[in-house]
Amino acid sequence: MTAAAQDPGSRKEPYWVMVIDLQKCIGCDTCTVSCKAENRTPPGISYNVVMQMEIGEFPHTRRTYVPRPCMQCDRPPCVGVCPVGATYKGESGVVIIDDDRCIGCRYCIAACPYGARSFDFGENYDEMIAFTEVQAPEYGVEQGPRRKGEAPIGTVRKCTFCLHRINRGEEPACVETCIGDARYFGDLNDPDSAVAKLAASPRAFRLKEEMGTQPRVIYLK
Amino acid sequence: MSALTREKAALRLADEHPAPEPSKHLRAGWYALLAVLLIAGGAAIFHRTVNGLATTNLTSITPWGAWIAFYIYFVGLSAGAFLLSSLIYVFGMTRFERLGRMALLTALVAMIVALSFVLLDLGRMERALSALVYFNWLSPLAWEMRFYLIYILLLAAELWFAMRVDLVRRADRSRLARWLSFGSKSLDTARDHRMLRILGTIGVPIAIFGVHGGTGTIFAIVKARGMWFSALTPIVFIVSALVSGTALLALLYILRQKALKRPVDGGMVADLGRLLGAFLLVDLGLLFYEYLVPLLSMAPHDTGVMHLMMEGPYAWTFWILQLGIGMVAPAIILMTRLRESVPLTAVAALMVVVGIVGVRFNIVVPPLITPALEGLPAGQYFPSAVEWWSSAGIIAMGLLLFSLAADLLPVDEDVHVIGGTAHD
């Protein structure tokens, strides 16, 4: 990330990836909470979740935690199925949803192999004062207050890799707040970056690689 | 449509048909039932429009439910009914000729009903026309919206050519017929039949590949979901369309003849029953392979969906509704001499029409209950009251459209009048 920032002329766009070290993840859900705080997602919508998997038979069981943001696939199945082209791969490599165009058919939710997309049913945290007053600037676009009947209500939403934070040189909220430093974010094209070194590790794998979706989230076993 | 005009139209119909009219009570009761369903459905739709999809039991895990199931159900009925009409107008099977106009009308109404379900299902209904403005050529849904539109226009044109000569004949007595004849005067049906054959020939590939095969493709390309991602899916859609469309037409024909106190053509009903039985057999054969291949290959995402469907909380919809009522019981009636009885054929057809609802729900829902990614929560879905009542309302709208058209238009004019020149 730093190299690209110092020498902006060398490449057009950084190849943003996220690396998640499962051995460092303790399943505390801080990423989920900070994501909700950052993106002010309503009830029922979590851009990031932490999945739990139990391995082995009682009493010899072990738990693995697998955080799941949007994979920002390079060959995203959700983009192909959208009838109106409201979701597309942006220049940043982030899969974008144009909530002014989305018709809310939810085909992309059915098509996402990672369950990473949510429909905004219009619910609110009504007990939270001023919850509707500010929305996160999704994909860098200011949304204004959350009003009944106005987008993104009635459309599909998902993790943006905190594009609004990337644009001002910050890491996604989940990466910054991870208490075990299990998450890394950076430019895979920069050979000196932490993510490039970690991605080369034999521990590296991606979810459902056999589907050919080419996810941009790399896990370390 | 005021009651007075309907009454007049009924009288006019009576002029042309010396056959006895249905009892006033039956007709009044039927329209009253539709009115009740329309009011209840309208209230549900109003509630859904104001409060959004939160009024449904849909979630982000199970994003599609009853409305999408009914949508593919009615697309199937439409494609099936249309393909049956093409047997008459394209392939010259004149023994079904008296079903021709009703088949086209059924196909048209079923398609309007199907699109109403899609509209209701959209998160932002006011953007429905965006589906025609913007286009993503990779998306089967984008193609389908265009195919549906072409198909509806084609159905309307074909229905008009099928009825044209009778509209002309009625033009001096009925203002509606005069208006609908669009100034056409000729009583020669040769051109009509040529047009019907041309439109039908264009329509057959559109109905098979565009409309229903295409609807199956919407599901077939979703590699994330078990049991959808199969090249068999579009073919199953086409065959089940033939099954449901044939059954619906047999049922509608028998019920209408009984309600209008007209004689039922037993021979034709038996032929329809044979056809339906053959379609059912092919459907059962496809079902066999559809389930055998994933079971033996032990593909976990497929077998997970099958376990849910066959052993889950709604397994009865598979064993009883889909397999028992929808396939095995009617197949037994239609494969044996029982099919010679008109009432039993009607029962078999009714069972198929009801059972296919189970088929459609089991196509849509179970793959969306099984989590997309191991570790995510499984879904839970049963339609909400709003979903049920709005569905009833939309179906009632379709029945009303059909009934009004059947009351006011020459939908089942005596075929002998035009039959002579049909396919010589």
- Express each pLDDT in A118-139 by its tens digit: 999 999 998 888 888 888 888 8
What residues make up the domain containing A77? 2-220
CA distance A81 to B124: 17
Tokens of B218: 């919407």
pLDDT at A36 over 80: yes
Average pLDDT of chain A, as a whole number = 91
Would you call B134 an interface residue with chain A, using a CB distance cutoff of 8 Å?
yes
Would you call B186 an interface residue with chain A, using a CB distance cutoff of 8 Å?
no
- DSSP annotation of B210 reads I
What residues make up the domain containing B92? 31-272+382-419
Q: How many CB atoms lie within 10 A of CB A221?
A: 11
Give me the tens of pLDDT residue by residue for chain B, a chain 424 residues long: 444 455 555 444 444 544 456 678 888 999 999 999 999 999 999 999 999 999 999 999 999 999 999 999 999 999 999 999 999 999 988 888 889 999 999 999 999 999 999 999 999 999 999 999 999 999 999 999 999 999 999 999 999 999 998 888 888 888 888 888 888 878 888 889 899 999 999 999 999 999 999 999 999 999 999 999 999 999 999 999 999 999 999 999 999 999 888 899 999 999 999 999 999 999 999 999 999 999 999 888 899 999 999 999 999 999 999 999 999 999 999 988 888 899 999 999 999 999 999 999 999 999 999 999 988 999 999 999 999 999 999 999 999 999 999 888 888 765 444 444 433 3
Taking the CA atoms of B293, B298, B302 and B306 in sequence, report the sign of the dihedral they define: positive
- Are the Cβ atoms of B127 and A101 closer than 8 angstroms? yes
| ipTM for the assembly | 0.91
pLDDT higher for B13 or A68? A68
pLDDT at A4 over 50: no
CA distance A26 to A183: 12
Mean of pLDDT values over A78-106: 95
Q: Is B143 contained in some domain? A: yes
CA distance A139 to B155: 44
CATH assignment at residue A72: 3.30.70.20
Would you call A137 an interface residue with chain B, using a CB distance cutoff of 8 Å?
no
Pairing relation of β-strands A87-89 and A95-97?
antiparallel
- Interface residue of A106, A114, A147, A159 to substitute, partner B, most B CBs within 10 Å: A106
Q: Is B296 contained in some domain? A: no
Q: How many CB atoms lie within 10 A of CB A190?
A: 20
Would you call A41 an interface residue with chain B, using a CB distance cutoff of 8 Å?
no
Give the pLDDT confidence score for residue B21 in this predicted structure: 62
CATH assignment at residue B266: 1.20.1630
How many structural domains are present in chain B? 1
| Of B244, B224, B236, B207, nearest in space to B70 by CA | B244
Which residues in chain B touch residue A48, judged by CB atoms under 8 angstroms apart? none
How many structural domains are present in chain A? 1
Q: Which residue has the tokens 């034709």?
A: B268
pLDDT at A112 over 50: yes
Q: Which residues pair with A96 in a beta bridge?
A: A88
Q: Is B351 contained in some domain? A: no
| Of B213, B249, B205, B216, nearest in space to B104 by CA | B249
Mean of pLDDT values over A80-84: 97
- Are the Cβ atoms of B123 and A66 closer than 8 angstroms? no
CA distance A29 to A66: 10
Nearest by CB to A119, from B123, B131, B221: name it. Answer: B123
| Of B77, B89, B326, B96, nearest in space to B207 by CA | B77
Give the pLDDT confidence score for residue B5 in this predicted structure: 53
Tokens of A74: 């390079």
Give the pLDDT confidence score for residue B22 in this predicted structure: 67
- DSSP annotation of A7 reads -
Note the helical H segments in B122-231: 130-133, 140-170, 175-180, 190-205, 213-220
Q: Is B233 contained in some domain? A: yes
Q: Is B213 contained in some domain? A: yes
For A37-54, the pLDDT digits (tens) are 999 999 999 999 999 988
- Are the Cβ atoms of A106 and B64 closer than 8 angstroms? yes
Distance of CA B109 to the CA centre of its chain: 8
Which residues in chain B touch residue A77, judged by CB atoms under 8 angstroms apart? 222-224
E strands within B227-347? Answer: none
Q: Is B299 contained in some domain? A: no
